[in-house]
Amino acid sequence: MKNKVFLFMLVLVLGILAACGTAEKETSTGSAGSETDSTSDTTTEEAKVLRVGTSADYAPFEYVDTKVSEDIIGFDIDLANLIAERLGYELEFTNSDFNSLIPGLQADKYDFVISGMTPTEERDKVVDFSIPYYETEQYMVSLKESNIATMDDLKGKVVGAQVSSIQLDLAEEFGAEHGFTVESRDLIPQLIQEMKNGRLDGAVIENIVSENYLSQNDDLAAFPIEVEEPDFKAAVFQEGSTLKAEFDKVIQELIDEGKVEELKKKWFVVE
């Protein structure tokens, strides 16, 4: 009798252990499957996130309205989001100094840059540009009280421009021709403040950006600078990036559909 009970108990215990093992195996398999699916989803999701470099001191193209939020907003930001939406990407913006954007792109810190940047021969040696999405002009901005109306009025004075910008190149070119000194600053607001503080007599700033400052500062004046070649804005990519072809196609579509013009009307209205 004892042997029968013992055998019965042994069979019962083995059955329980087997059941537990099966259950554990099934749970483990399910968990592994979930982890695999999760990893796959994460990988897919990560592949769709593009890292974007910008310099958010350039209203209305890219800036932060601290009265409203800490988000980067502007024409370029809306345009980038429209492009990304059509291509199925999500964007992650990073605010950096303008002169660090191309080095950051080369160091694979960003997948692309959009920051009111103009293609130049020098830049084109190290990065790729999209087709142009906006044509721009340049202004010489100064204090009204200085009565600066022409380049000749700047002889012997000091003119500022943003570091690593085409405006800096332009200022240096005209400085050599008209006899004024050129200094650079990291940010556009610094140029405005330096004029108000008397350390700069003028600053070369893009027209639509200038007009926004003129509308908010009654003590500022400006005149357009004549250049031989028009300036354009474009998105910037690592050399050989496949994103260029994708972006070119969508940018042209947005231009043809009038979407870029809608963004201009939204962002380039100076109040």
pLDDT(35) > 50: no
> pLDDT category, 271, cuts 50, 70, 90?
low
CB 234 within 8 A of CB 128: no
Domains 47-133+234-267 and 137-225 agree in fold: yes
Asked if residue 130 lies in contact with residue 237, where contact means CB atoms within 8 angstroms, the answer is yes
Q: Is the pLDDT of residue 92 over 70?
A: yes
Contact 143, 195 (CB under 8 A): yes
Superfamily holding 137-225: Periplasmic binding protein-like II (3.40.190.10)
**Superfamily of structural domain 47-133+234-267:** Periplasmic binding protein-like II (3.40.190.10)
Angle at 223 between CA 137 and CA 186, to 5 degrees: 65
> How far from 87 is each of 81, 157, 245, CA to CA, in Å?
10, 49, 11
Kindly tell me the burial class for residue 71, based on how many C-beta atoms sit within 10 Å of its own C-beta (0-12, 13-18, 19 or more): exposed
Q: Nearest Cα to 157, choosing from 170, 141, 175?
A: 175
- Please state the domain extents for the chain: 47-133+234-267, 137-225
pLDDT band for position 15 (50/70/90)?
low
Rounded to an integer, what distance in angstroms lies between the CA atom of residue 186 and that of residue 191? 9
pTM of the model: 0.74
pLDDT score of 2 more than 80: no
